[in-house]
Structure 1
Amino acid sequence: MSILLALKGMDIPAWVAGLKEALPDHPIVLADEDYDPAAIDYAVVWQPDDALFRPLSNLKVIFSAGAGVDHILRHPALPDVPIVRAVDTELSQRMTHYILSQVFFHHRKMFEVQAAQARGEWIMLDQPSASRIRVGIMGLGVLGTDAAEKLKLHGYDVAGWSRTEKQIDGIRTYSGEDGLDALLGWSDILVCLLPSTPATADILNYDLFSKLPQTGVLGGPVLINVGRGALQKEEDIIRALDDGTLMAASLDVFKVEPLPQDSPLWGHPRIVITPHVAADSDPAAFSRSIGTQVRKFESGKPLDNQVDKTVGY
């Protein structure tokens, strides 16, 4: 019952240590070593090579080593086995902390504060109460729900949208195409946590930004994208910022990563850029979660957080 690790750009020793602790009776195999493909029962992957899955004749489950699964679903030789999303309390906390930090940044007008500091100017900015700021969340999965609940606890007026109807205590929810337009027309700060699917490609575009209100207490709408880079048209973000359709943006994900040095996003004065770290994978926490899933699977119980391949998450 061997576990294959194919984790591009990740801390392999930490993952090996975590999985050995979680599943000490399951040999750990690295993708860049010699191994018997027929002995592999489970694969833990991030950005797997095109040839990885073809020889794995006895593969039973694929585990994503991060929150997204688009890197698996677009694989040219994807086997017909269950795919499991990474879901962990630590992951949710990290994502929520990042979202909170960016909402706080824009709420407290830190771009203006930093500009005043650079000028050596002491200014007193209007500081609206959190209850006057409307935060809309696109995507109400585990991460989006946690973020919505924590933002609510911090006093913000919070609403969320999902493809299908969902209910969250104390939070206004919308669904479907009409529901998305309603959320957009309401949101001062728009947080995107959608997965990357054919239906969400380039959804963060100029037409969508134009539906955000210009009348909020922040002086204009703010975009925070922590979903996937494929969701955003980056040239439209710059256009919207330059003509005032957007006031500011915080971007943690990009179409090409690392973000190329010649990207105009780097130098824009109204963009916060972070290098896809909003919810970094914690190998120890994820390994414990994978260990629990493997034990359940081997005892004949259903897997948690299994991906629906027809919708892409």
Structure 2
Amino acid sequence: MSFLIVSPGRDPKPWLEALKNQHPGLNIYVYPEDHDKEEVEFALAWNHPRGLFKNYPNLKVVASMGAGVDHITSDRELPENIKITRVVDQQLTTDMSDFVLAQVMDHVRRLSYYKAQQVEKSWNRKPYKRPKNTTVGIMGIGVLGSAVGEKLAKNGFNVLGWAKSSKDKKDINTYCGKEGLEEFLPQVEILVCLLPLTSKTENILNRDLFDQLPEGAYVINVARGEHLVEQDLLRMIGSGHLSGAALDVFREEPLPEDHPFWTEPKIHITPHIASVTKASSVVPQIIENYERLQDDEPLKNVVERDKGY
């Protein structure tokens, strides 16, 4: 059994080193180096070329390098018998929670506004909101969304959550389904998107949804760029209905230099750094699944392909 790393645009060296340290005898190939496709039964991937894995007759598992799996599930040529696994890592969860808390605090205390004012050597004060008087709504109450909600609640924010199905979460008042979304949105002053990307959630951050938020609401997207209808966001900020947005993910990354987001002062841009996978932290769980595959044991963190997560 051989192991394949496929990560165009991402340096495979840290992963190769971490895998060898964790499992010294592992036979590892790094795409696109020459290798025997029939030997490969386990692949570790990030943004693999579409249709690549149909050429591996004995491939049984494709493991994502990160928590997101849409880069794998979107490959329509991926054979049905291949299992997909995702990363569940406490450090990633902590990083995401810290990042969202920082963005929320930046907004309620107007820190970015004062940074811009410093450049202009201007001395103006604006009122700020306190956490206890601020409602944050999280779309997507999975591992990351639950952790983000708990951290915000511990810091005094009123936290609401929305998901496809019913959730019972401590400190988070949750809603589900279409009717739940209609009840959820009008209460939300800061909207955080942490949804998985599926055919049903693509373009969900659109004008119709923004219209249901109260005037002056703020949007934070740390999920996927494809969740957001970009022109709708710009129009709603331009009209004053939305006070702004913090975006860490985009449809095209890096964000093109001529993209209008760059010049919109009410949009705070970060380069997809909310939660970055560290190879040494997540390789142990990948190797555990590799060994489980060898021993015919159930794999951990398997993605339900019909759901997309």
Aligned partner of 2:27: which letter?
P
Please show how residues 27-38 of structure 1 align to structure 2 within 5 Å. Answer: 27-38=27-38
Question: Is 1:11 aligned to residue 7 of structure 2?
Answer: no
Please show how residues 1-313 of structure 1 align to structure 2 within 5 Å. Answer: 1-79=1-79, 80-214=81-215, 220-313=216-309
Measure, in 1, the Cα distance between the counterparts of 2:254 and 2:119. Answer: 28
Aligned partner of 1:298: which letter?
Q
Measure, in 2, the Cα distance between the counterparts of 1:88 and 1:99. Answer: 17
Aligned partner of 1:123: which letter?
N
**Structure 1 unpaired stretches of 5+:** 215-219
| Aligned counterpart, 1:217 | none
- For 1:184-220, what per-residue CA distance to the aligned partner results, in whole angstroms no more than 9, with x for missing partners? 1111100001111110111101111111112xxxxx1
Q: CA deviation at 1:65?
A: 0.9
Measure, in 2, the Cα distance between the counterparts of 1:161 and 1:291. Answer: 34
Measure, in 2, the Cα distance between the counterparts of 1:235 and 1:116. Answer: 27
Measure, in 2, the Cα distance between the counterparts of 1:184 and 1:133. Answer: 14
Q: CA deviation at 1:52?
A: 2.0
Residue 166 of structure 1: SS of its match in structure 2?
Answer: coil
Measure, in 2, the Cα distance between the counterparts of 1:8 and 1:250. Answer: 28
Q: Which has the higher contact order (CA 8 A, sep 6+)?
A: 1
Q: More deviation in 194-203 or 112-121?
A: 112-121
Asked if the contact 1:46–1:65 (Cα under 8 Å) also holds between the matched residues in 2, the reply is yes
Q: CA deviation at 1:86?
A: 1.5
Measure, in 1, the Cα distance between the counterparts of 2:2 and 2:95. Answer: 30
Q: CA deviation at 1:2?
A: 1.3
- How high is the sequence identity, in percent, across the aligned residues? 40
Q: CA deviation at 1:182?
A: 1.6
Residue 53 of structure 1: SS of its match in structure 2?
Answer: helix
Q: CA deviation at 1:116?
A: 2.8
RMSD: 1.4
Asked if the contact 2:248–2:274 (Cα under 8 Å) also holds between the matched residues in 1, the reply is yes
Aligned partner of 1:99: which letter?
V
Asked if the contact 2:51–2:78 (Cα under 8 Å) also holds between the matched residues in 1, the reply is no
Aligned partner of 1:178: which letter?
E
Aligned partner of 1:86: which letter?
V
Measure, in 2, the Cα distance between the counterparts of 1:54 and 1:170. Answer: 45
Alignment size in residue pairs: 308
Q: CA deviation at 1:51?
A: 4.2
Residue 158 of structure 1: SS of its match in structure 2?
Answer: strand
- TM-score calculated relative to the size of structure 1: 0.95
Q: CA deviation at 1:102?
A: 0.7
Measure, in 1, the Cα distance between the counterparts of 2:8 and 2:189. Answer: 37
Measure, in 1, the Cα distance between the counterparts of 2:251 and 2:117. Answer: 32
Q: CA deviation at 1:123?
A: 3.3
Residue 268 of structure 2: SS of its match in structure 1?
Answer: strand
Q: CA deviation at 1:126?
A: 2.2
Aligned partner of 1:147: which letter?
V
Q: CA deviation at 1:55?
A: 2.3
Asked if the contact 2:22–2:284 (Cα under 8 Å) also holds between the matched residues in 1, the reply is yes
Measure, in 2, the Cα distance between the counterparts of 1:94 and 1:145. Answer: 13
Q: CA deviation at 1:231?
A: 0.7
**Structure 2 unpaired stretches of 5+:** none
- TM-score calculated relative to the size of structure 2: 0.96
Aligned partner of 2:182: which letter?
D
Measure, in 1, the Cα distance between the counterparts of 2:110 and 2:254. Answer: 28
Measure, in 1, the Cα distance between the counterparts of 2:116 and 2:34. Answer: 55
Measure, in 2, the Cα distance between the counterparts of 1:207 and 1:239. Answer: 12
Aligned partner of 1:138: which letter?
M
Aligned partner of 1:300: which letter?
D
Measure, in 2, the Cα distance between the counterparts of 1:247 and 1:259. Answer: 22
Asked if the contact 1:111–1:270 (Cα under 8 Å) also holds between the matched residues in 2, the reply is no
